[in-house]
Amino acid sequence: MQMVKRIFKYLGIGILLLLTVMLVNTLLQSKPEFNKTTVNTQDLLKDGFLRYSESIRFRVIGHDDAVTNIEQNKSELQRFHAWMRKSYPILAKTARWETINGGSLLITIKGKNTGPAAMFLGHLDVVPADDSTLWKYPPFEGEIIGDTLWGRGTLDDKNAVIALLEAAERMLAKGQQPKNSIILAFGQDEETGGAEGAAHIQKHLLNNKIPISFIADEGFGVMKGIVPGLANDCAIIGLAEKGNLTLKLTVEIPGGHSAWPHPENTTSVLANALSKIENYQFPAKLEGPVKGLFAESAPYMNFGYKFLFSNLTITAPLVKSVLTNGVKTAASIRTTHVTTVIQAGSKENVVPPAAQALINFRTVPNHSSEEIIEQIKSLVNDDRIQISKFQGAIESSPISPSEGIGINEIKKAIHATFPKTVAVPGLVITGTDCKNYTKLTPRIYRFVPYTFSNHNLSGIHGRNEYVTIQQFTAAVGYYEYLFGLL
């Protein structure tokens, strides 16, 4: 009895000590003061907004059928390029413009020095708007209603393209020249993988031995209310992006009449394997950019969350179980998978001789396609099922450094533009053109300077995409400030 009492006593003291350490850890997270914003976002850029609206009328559309894209988009891309030269005359005269592979554009603003160039990406194509009759305003007219511009591409990705062009034109109009060169690189086919655009731009830069200090592309922006416990707006800078792998499962067993089925047939074997896979979840991991996101936002959180996120070494299991409850937060901490296609049979009374399924995996950093194939093979554990890669896999990206050249200047520009905004790292769960640029620099940052509300986000790749002049003015101000630092 005495022994049990003693154990409880020491256990109690232990827990108390641990709690004290966690509390001290929490209280030590002092909240740094925000710098005063210096970028003028009050004088709305009305002329620029009109140019933005004109850009929505260029219909460079990425369909899944690549052949149609190249043919249909060629002349539209040429018209779009010509419009840019006309609309940004100082940039057209001062910078070097190169057309890459017929439709992509590389604009180089020469710096005073010969150091590595900073490169800003955008893409000229958009996803289709096949449900155009259901939109509030036509998707390709660029209608401005009050302070809002409606249309496909207003937030993906003409927002980056136009804000970059406006900021470059304004910088040059003031007679300013960057210290080192600034390159604007606009791909023609990001929405269908970037093989015609970004991949060619990378090759061109490598062939010409153009050194790049860092790359800035789309991915995240200034997000409102998406980090639990954080009241401030949160500028998330994507340090990495997930990979994309699709596996094909095939079963072939002779079929026959459905009136005397064999208990083991193609569909039953495949269904059994799919159920094993669907019931499996890859482990959730709180590491890399996602861990950084919570650790770096912790000082600004309310006490409960601050306590939780300041002590991740101890609280990680709890945090992971909370994050796996939401589909988007779950996708940021584990490799996800879902069956997207199932095919078998063509007649109701014939047992199909072949059945197949496609499973799409989105992989977290450091989780390779080969590892996944091995894991799935051992999980299914059935020789009758062939498992192979369906088309090329895109591995998850390397993780860019969380400080130093590029990200330091990006953070400065965020604080100068967006009041009381916390800037933290993050992991992009979809794909961007960045995957085509990894040979140029290890410093790739996925952030566009637009404040996104949840309402805004639903329009991206969806219906009723829109942007406001206030969002646009802040973005131009951000780029102009950032260019001044380079």
Dist CA 469 CA 467 (whole Å) = 7
Selected range binding Zn ion among 68-76, 162-170, 211-219, 367-375, rule: CB under 5 A? 211-219
User: Would you call 119 helix, strand, or coil by DSSP?
Assistant: strand
Select from 148-156, 159-167, 395-403, 423-431 the region that touches Zn ion (CB under 5 A). 148-156
Query: Which residue of the set 76, 166, 169, 190 is catalytic?
Result: 190
Q: For the CB of residue 62, give the shortest distance to Zn ion in the complex, in Å.
A: 10
| Number of residues binding to Zn ion, judged by CB under 5 A | 3
Angle between helices 266-278 and 369-380 (to 10 degrees): 120
Rounded to whole angstroms, how far apart are CA atoms 445 and 425?
Answer: 9
Minimum distance of Zn ion from residue 157's CB (angstroms): 4
131 flagged as catalytic? no
Binding string to Zn ion for residues 214 to 233, with x set by CB under 5 A, is what?
A: ----x---------------
CB of 377 to Zn ion, least distance (A): 34
Closest C-alpha to 424, from 296, 262, 241? 296
Measured from the CB of residue 58, what is the shortest distance to Zn ion in angstroms? Answer: 15
- Report the residue number, 157 or 395, with the smaller CB distance to Zn ion: 157
Decide whether 215 or 351 has the Cβ nearer to Zn ion. 215
Q: Which of 283, 143, 293 is nearest to 219 (CA)?
A: 293
DSSP 211: -
- Token code pair at residue 128: 């289709």
If the CB atoms of residues 294 and 478 are measured against Zn ion, the closer one turns out to be 478
Contacts (CB under 5 A) with Zn ion, residues 154-183: 156-157
| C-beta closer to Zn ion: residue 76 or 157 | 157
Under the binding rule (CB under 5 A), the answer on residue 189 touching Zn ion is no
Interface of this chain with Zn ion, residues 78 to 107, rule: CB under 5 A: none
Q: Where does this chain touch Zn ion (CB under 5 A) — which range of 212-220, 296-304, 334-342, 410-418?
A: 212-220
Distance (Å, rounded) from C-alpha 379 to C-alpha 276? Answer: 7
Q: How far is the CB of 156 from Zn ion (least distance, A)?
A: 4
- Burial class from Cβ neighbours inside 10 Å (0-12, 13-18, 19+) for residue 358 reads middle
Distances (CA, A) of 48 to 56, 74, 459: 13, 26, 22
Looking at beta carbons, which residue is closest to Zn ion? Answer: 157
Which among 127, 194, 196, 184 is positioned nearest to 155, based on CA atoms?
127
Site track 108-147 with Zn ion (rule: CB under 5 A), x = hit: ----------------------------------------
Respond yes or no: is residue 157 known to be catalytic: no
CA angle, 483 then 182 then 70, to 5°: 120
Sign of CA dihedral 364, 367, 368, 371: negative
Nearer to Zn ion, 126 or 182 (CB): 126
Residue-wise DSSP of 307-351: HHHHTHHHHHHHHHHHHTTSHHHHHHHS-EEEEEEEEE-SSTTEE
Residue 461 CB, nearest distance to Zn ion (Å)? 9
Which residue, 157 or 196, is less far from Zn ion as judged by CB? 157
Q: Give me the torsion for CA of 369, 370, 371, 373, rounded to 10°.
A: 90
The residue from 125, 156, 241, 433 that is catalytic is 125
| Residues annotated catalytic, as ranges | 125, 190
Interface contacts to Zn ion, rule CB under 5 A: 156-157, 218
